[in-house]
Amino acid sequence: MKTKFDIEYPITASPQLLYQYISTPSGLSEWFADNVNSRGEFFTFIWGDSEEKAKLVTKKTDEKVKFRWLEEDEAETDYFFELRIVLDELTKDVTLMVTDFAEDNEIKDQTQLWDNQIADLKKVLGSA
């Protein structure tokens, strides 16, 4: 059984620009995975020799994307990751909220993995 967790990352970029990097195969390929392919709502994330498939289940322009991981037979799992853009109306600060799942003993490692990936995203955005 995996545990759901959330992490917040302040990002110096407009929600519109950030959305392009979290919602498109080309954007995701620049920071999230070595390569990302999509066939409609189905995305394949490639890291080295490893490949994971996910279904895009929620997409709201300039706000969020949610991918549900698929089994090898393409059946949906209970696990997903969501990337949500939060804009503070007063300060105009942009935060990227990450929701993911991990085994209890792997949450620290998974958080570190996200920290590294978001650092790559910030470099791509020129806000590192």
Q: What number is the average pLDDT over the span 58-62?
A: 97
Q: What number is the average pLDDT over the span 104-110?
A: 96
According to the model, what pLDDT value does residue 76 have? 92
Answer yes or no: is pLDDT of 128 > 80: no
Q: What number is the average pLDDT over the span 71-84?
A: 94
- Split at pLDDT 50, 70, 90, the class of 105 is very high
According to the model, what pLDDT value does residue 127 have? 81
Q: What number is the average pLDDT over the span 53-73?
A: 96
- Residue 67's identity, in one-letter code, is F
In the chain, what are the domains?
Answer: 3-125 (3.30.530.20)
Answer yes or no: is pLDDT of 80 > 80: yes
pTM here?
0.94
Q: How many CB atoms lie within 10 A of CB 104?
A: 10
Cα–Cα distance for residue pair 42/20, rounded to 1 Å: 17
- Sorted by sequence, the CB contacts under 8 Å of residue 15 that are 6+ apart come out as 62, 63, 85, 87, 94
pLDDT in tens, 24-46: 999 999 999 999 999 999 999 99
Question: What value does the mean pLDDT of the chain take?
Answer: 96
